[in-house]
Amino acid sequence: MSVHSCQGPLHYVSQQSQVEALAQNIEPGIRVALDTEADSLHHYYEKVCLIQLSFASHHYIVDPLAKVRVEPLLEKLAQCTLVIHGADYDLRMLRRQWGFEAHQLFDTMCAAQLLGYEELGLASLVKRCCGVTLCKSGQRADWSRRPLSPKLIEYATNDSRYLLCVAERLEHELRIRGRVEWHREMCQRILENVKCHNTARSEARQWRVKGWHTLKSSRAHAILRELWQWREREAQHADLPPFRILGNEVLVRLAAWTEATSAGDSLPDFIPPHLASSARRLESLRRAVEHARALPPEKWPRPSHVNCK
């Protein structure tokens, strides 16, 4: 596939008739480049906001927020080989929201890993395989907002526009190096892991945020767990991702501070200004700290539950 063939027309799909027509255009067994955009950086209850598809030199932006049913489209995609860069997240989101299950996958990130590439990002692969420099200005966009600007639509389109070209180049190199079967096995494991993934992870694991192992006592782990629960409640209430309430590093640091201090002490200076500026949230945090500090030993996690694995 030439880079020129990647420059085909763009179709914005926001009506049910358009979804149906797109589904009819997809022949079973073909390769379809797929990407999604979600709003996990801006909302607690993350959702798929766009589905980008590229095949037969055409590119499609499907807008699930336009109150269209995408199930007919997903039924056809399940019969295709999906070309995705770092497929795990996209497939988990599609499965969680619509029960979608892919059966054939070509993951370009896995291919790059098998080929020993040092730079695995999509932009790097597009530059290397297609000679095209992608704009990264939409990486932190809130994809739930409408209308989307022309720049964001272009950014989203480019995430699938060059994938088939990249996959073709990578597959050729995999074949030369005798690693096609290795790649197939890696992709199959991704599909199996997505299928078996339990989206409702147990709380016993969720509170173990990055850096939790630096806390050495069961009491400190119990405090961290309580503070994590407080952060979840606040994030849900505000419909914000938890890191927008309190970052993991501060959360762990606060747990260590709570263990080392006494009841009634003022909150530490490292509490971020955006949290300190909310009187209600700050008072809520104070109560959570005091509750965590007073937890009796029988409420602490058992040592077998806190060992690093």
Long-range contact list for 227-235, CB < 8 A, 24+ apart? 227/251, 227/254, 227/255, 227/258, 227/288, 227/289, 227/292, 229/203, 229/288, 230/284, 230/285, 230/288, 234/281, 234/284, 235/44
- Residues 237 and 180 grouped into a single domain: no
- Residues 91 and 136 grouped into a single domain: yes
Residues of the chain predicted below pLDDT 50: 305-309
- Residues 101 and 250 grouped into a single domain: no
Last-in-domain residue among 140, 170, 196: 196
Domain count, the chain: 2
Whole-number pLDDT of residue 273: 92
Last-in-domain residue among 196, 222, 244: 196
φ/ψ of 11, rounded to 5, equals -125, 125
Q: Which residue has the tokens 């640091």?
A: 253
- 163-176 vs 122-130: helix crossing angle, rounded to 10: 70
Whole-number pLDDT of residue 307: 45
Q: How many CB atoms lie within 10 A of CB 6?
A: 22
- Residues 140 and 289 grouped into a single domain: no
- Residues 222 and 84 grouped into a single domain: no
- Residues 172 and 294 grouped into a single domain: no
- Residues 44 and 192 grouped into a single domain: yes
**Cis amide leading into 150 (omega within 30):** no
Whole-number pLDDT of residue 43: 96
- Residues 51 and 31 grouped into a single domain: yes
- Residues 277 and 183 grouped into a single domain: no
CATH classification of the domain holding 230:
1.10.150.80
- Residues 300 and 256 grouped into a single domain: yes
CATH classification of the domain holding 14:
3.30.420.10
- Residues 233 and 169 grouped into a single domain: no
- Residues 46 and 71 grouped into a single domain: yes
Range of the structural domain that residue 251 is part of: 203-305
Last-in-domain residue among 149, 170, 196: 196
DSSP string, 37-77: EE-TTT-SS--EEEEEEEETTEEEEE-GGGS---HHHHHHH
| Sequence-ordered strand ranges (E) for the chain | 10-13, 31-38, 48-55, 58-62, 81-84, 104-107
